[in-house]
Structure 1
């Protein structure tokens, strides 16, 4: 796969505060990379460095093989960006602002623009000062998605959108991905990242603490099993790999170490299985593992 973004040992300080310690990850063509972490973890600082807004202290950051600080003007011709809180000119209409953004970028697909205005249910004739936060986000999204870019940097793009509009956004991201474009998606909505991302990068206190596909990361944690048996289900509490065993009647819920799932199934079958459900860990489980406490 063609590498679009390459970040190596990225570091940034604000005074004595170390915002980024050693950040490493890549984004390839045709994939969505979910970039997640709580407020203050370093997501926005990383994105601002990628956009050439602030200068890094150390390490390397490249987009399309070009330095993000020295070659920012060239890079910006091929990227689209949506921030988490879109600021607009209050006396211009939404439609005028979208057209201005497209003109500043150097073009844009007007048919695509009209289609997105309809799909996002935006009133383009209304002045921006009368827009809600959700409608301001729609303006930013429509402008960004109407441009044929090679990289889309989306920082909390669905902030303020209702679930129906989130679904429209997710469909558009799928289309972009299928066309071979690269997407860096930073979001607090973990279900959104889980649905869209091919790989996930989790940042904590300026350092990357996990990175990989969801399938790879799920090997690092446990599945949740719900089991109902004809025999005494309490006997399962003693089986290797069974953790946090909770029983109600002859049904039990517990966490299962993935390496022991086969042993757990064998022992459960001896008790006469009436119900066996195994759910893989969610992205939220993985995320909370690094942040709880």
Structure 2
């Protein structure tokens, strides 16, 4: 797949404070990269650098093979960006603002615009000053999703939206992905990232601490097992690779290291398995794995 975004060793200092430390990742065409981390981790600083709003201290960042700082104007012709907090012109209607954004990019898709206004249940005739936070967010999302961009950058895009509108957004991201667009999705809603992202990059204190598919990251965590056996499972206490074991009668719940699962399953067959359930860790559990105090 073609690389739409290439970030290598990106650094950004604000005085003595180093906000970004050798950040490296890429985003391919037809792919959603989930970019996750808590407030202050460096997500927004990374995005502002990619948008050419601030200049990096070191490293390189390219979009479409062009430098994000020196070629920002050219790059902006083919990207769409939605921030987590949207400020609009209060005296303009929602429809007027959407049309303005689309005209700025050029070649607006009015049919797609009208479809999105209906799907997001937006009243485009109201003045922007009367909109709630959720409706302001809808304006930005409709403007971005109706544009003919090649790269979409979403920074907390569903902030203020209800669950039904979140599902509309997720459906539209799926459409963009199918069309071969590249999407960088920064979100605190980990379930949303889990549904949409092909790969995940975890940033902590300005550094990328892990990156890969969810399956890649799950290799470093433990699955949860719930098992019912014919024999009393007390002897599981002696089995290597089992953690947080809880036993109630002939039922046991525990976590297991991924590289020990085969031997654990072999041992369980000796106890006579009546019922077995295995649950992989969620993205939230993977995320907390990186942020727990050592």
* Category of TM-score, reference length = shorter chain: over 0.9
Alpha-carbon separation, structure 2, partners of 1:143 and 1:107: 13
Alpha-carbon separation, structure 2, partners of 1:93 and 1:212: 42
Instruction: String of CA shifts for 1:3-56, please: whole Å, max 9, x gaps.
Output: 100001100011111100110000010100000000000000000000000000
* Equivalent residues of 2:232, 2:249 under 8 A apart: no
Secondary structure of the corresponding residue to residue 149 of structure 1: coil
Alpha-carbon separation, structure 2, partners of 1:249 and 1:97: 64
Equivalent position of 2:60 in the other structure: 60
Alpha-carbon separation, structure 2, partners of 1:131 and 1:234: 60
Equivalent position of 2:268 in the other structure: 268
Equivalent position of 1:213 in the other structure: 213
Q: Output the TM-score relative to the length of structure 2.
A: 0.98
Give 1:88 shift. 0.7
Kindly indicate whether residue 74 of structure 2 is the aligned counterpart of residue 74 of structure 1.
Answer: yes
Alpha-carbon separation, structure 1, partners of 2:88 and 2:248: 55
Within a 5 Å distance, the mapping from 1:116-265 to structure 2 comes to 116-265=116-265
Alpha-carbon separation, structure 1, partners of 2:235 and 2:209: 37
User: Unaligned stretches of 5+ in structure 1?
Assistant: none
Q: Output the TM-score relative to the length of structure 1.
A: 0.98
Alpha-carbon separation, structure 2, partners of 1:34 and 1:66: 22
Alpha-carbon separation, structure 2, partners of 1:198 and 1:73: 29
Alpha-carbon separation, structure 1, partners of 2:68 and 2:178: 26
Give 1:286 shift. 1.1
Please provide the CA RMSD for this pair: 0.8
Equivalent position of 1:277 in the other structure: 277
Equivalent position of 1:112 in the other structure: 112
Alpha-carbon separation, structure 2, partners of 1:129 and 1:233: 63
Alpha-carbon separation, structure 2, partners of 1:100 and 1:234: 68
Q: How many residues align?
A: 293
Alpha-carbon separation, structure 2, partners of 1:45 and 1:74: 21
Kindly indicate whether residue 45 of structure 2 is the aligned counterpart of residue 45 of structure 1.
Answer: yes
Secondary structure of the corresponding residue to residue 192 of structure 1: helix
Kindly indicate whether residue 15 of structure 2 is the aligned counterpart of residue 12 of structure 1.
Answer: no
User: Unaligned stretches of 5+ in structure 2?
Assistant: none
